[in-house]
């Protein structure tokens, strides 16, 4: 297992890479403050790669670029989705605040 940091939005974020027995896995935990409320919100990304380690290593920059493309939209769409009553009732609060 390997633990890395990815820098995004002025913050460092956790990246964990490991072998699953059949595939290489790479998981990202990105915690960014909501620009309208300041509350921390976690975005999780998971990638699996079937192939040898050297090919996995060549694919890592692509995985990083996908995750680095994350940003809060300016139109408020994501804020509305995260604060919808259906989402809260189905899965509880989505904020990392208070953890």
Show Cβ contacts of residue 59 under 8 Å, excluding neighbours closer than 6 positions. Answer: 49
Q: How many whole angstroms separate alpha carbon 88 and alpha carbon 23?
A: 34
* pTM > 0.75: yes or no: no
Render pLDDT for 52-95 as a digit per residue (tens, 0 to 9): 999 999 999 999 999 999 988 776 555 566 666 555 545 555 44
Cα torsion 44, 50, 56, 62 to 10°: value is -50
């Amino acid at each position: 297992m390997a633990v890395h940091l990815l820098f995004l939005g002025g913050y460092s974020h956790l990246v964990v890479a490991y072998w699953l027995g059949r595939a290489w896995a790479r998981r990202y935990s990105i915690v960014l403050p909501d620009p309208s409320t300041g509350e921390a919100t976690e975005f999780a990304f998971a990638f699996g790669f079937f192939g040898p380690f050297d090919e996995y290593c060549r694919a890592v920059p692509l995985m990083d670029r996908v995750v680095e493309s994350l940003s809060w939209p300016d139109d408020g769409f994501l804020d509305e989705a995260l604060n919808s009553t259906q989402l809260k009732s189905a899965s509880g609060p989505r904020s990392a605040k208070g953890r």
